[in-house]
Amino acid sequence: MKDMRTPLSRVRGMGAGHGGTEHFWQQRLTAIANLVLITIYLFVVVSLATGEYGSVREAFANPIVGVGAALVIISACVHMRLGMQTIIEDYIHGPLKWVLAIGNIFFACLIAGVGLYAIIKMSFGG
Amino acid sequence: MSDVKSKRPLSPHLTIYRFKATMTMSILHRITGSALYFGTILVVWWLAAAASGPDAYASARSFFGNFFIQIILIAYSWALIHHALGGIRHLIWDTGHGLSKETSTRFAQATIAGSLVLTVLLWLGIWLFA
């Protein structure tokens, strides 16, 4: 019998799932990024959290601190979206799964949006 | 297919197994991951307060200085460190190493011991030097 798949489909080799190893790979990639970035920012936050308002604003006005903090937010939010998606897929079945899967993406984007806005505002001294 | 509700037998799940170090760390990895997920609300709230101005930052600072919130922050930092150490374990496993029964059990023991020790050291450092 003739193969019904298109040549492109055969080359991509994704099958019916339409996806490959992106989830696995991005989870590992952001895990490595988080290990480096969050270790550094743990000490940044600890050194600032007990301090005055002025010292926090001064630190985040520094471009290196600002860019690094933005990368933490992006890497952490991608990582936690993937992780929570796995938990939802493992334990929640039926229609509720889709509600939570969509809510998970919205929550991760909301956290990233608010975090990035705050960092950018402090970077440009608003 | 997710709506199928049949009486077919399921494979045995958590309730049937005796707890082992490796499975406990696996479960804790998920629990700490979930805690970190929702705890990001506190992180971005602190950032947003600092970005909003001195008054908002002052109220956030007094909130985080509260005794009960400090305990939550200690637990949150433990969750972060535990999840990070568990993540390192997973990255080692991804290379194909450390998968034997003995080694993975030692990894599990090192994860819980390491996370507790590092959390204590972190907060001793905060209280001594801050």
Q: How crowded is residue A51: how many other Cβ atoms within 10 Å of its Cβ?
A: 14
Question: Are A87 and B57 a contacting pair at CB < 8 A?
Answer: no
Question: Domain ranges in chain A?
Answer: 19-124
Mean pLDDT by 10 residues, chain B (130 residues): 66 79 94 98 96 95 93 97 97 95 96 97 88
pLDDT of B42: 96
CB neighbour class for B10 (10 Å; exposed up to 12, middle 13-18, buried from 19) = exposed
pLDDT of A51: 77
Nearest CA in chain A to B3: A94
Tens digits of pLDDT across chain A (126 residues): 677 888 888 888 787 777 778 899 999 999 999 999 999 999 999 888 777 899 999 999 999 999 999 999 999 999 999 999 999 999 999 999 999 999 999 999 999 999 999 999 999 976
Q: Which residues of B touch A87 (CB under 8 A)?
A: 30, 33-34
Q: Are B82 and B32 in contact (CB under 8 A)?
A: yes
Question: Are B122 and A42 a contacting pair at CB < 8 A?
Answer: yes
DSSP of A12-44: HT-GGG---SHHHHHHHHHHHHHHHHHHHHHHH
Q: Which residue pairs, CB below 8 angstroms and at least 24 apart, start in B17-20?
A: B20/B105, B20/B108
Nearest to A114 among B48, B54, B126 (CB): B48
Q: Which residues of A touch B46 (CB under 8 A)?
A: 45, 49
CA distance B17 to chain A (A): 18
Q: Which residues of A touch B91 (CB under 8 A)?
A: 28, 31-32
Q: Are A64 and A70 in contact (CB under 8 A)?
A: no
Nearest to B33 among A32, A39, A83 (CB): A83
On whether the B21-129 domain is CATH 1.20.1300.10, my answer is yes
Instruction: Could you please state the CATH topology (level 3) that the domain comprising A19-124 is classified under.
Output: 3 helical TM bundles of succinate and fumarate reductases (1.20.1300)
pLDDT of B95: 96
Q: Model's pTM, two decimal places? A: 0.89
Q: Establish, for the pair of chains A and B, how many residue pairs have beta carbons separated by less than 8 Å.
A: 82
**ipTM of model:** 0.88
The CA-based angle B82-B70-A120, given to 5 degrees, is 80
Q: Which residues of B touch A34 (CB under 8 A)?
A: 84, 87
Tell me, yes or no, if B87 comes closer than 8 A to chain A by beta carbon: yes
Nearest CA in chain B to A78: B37
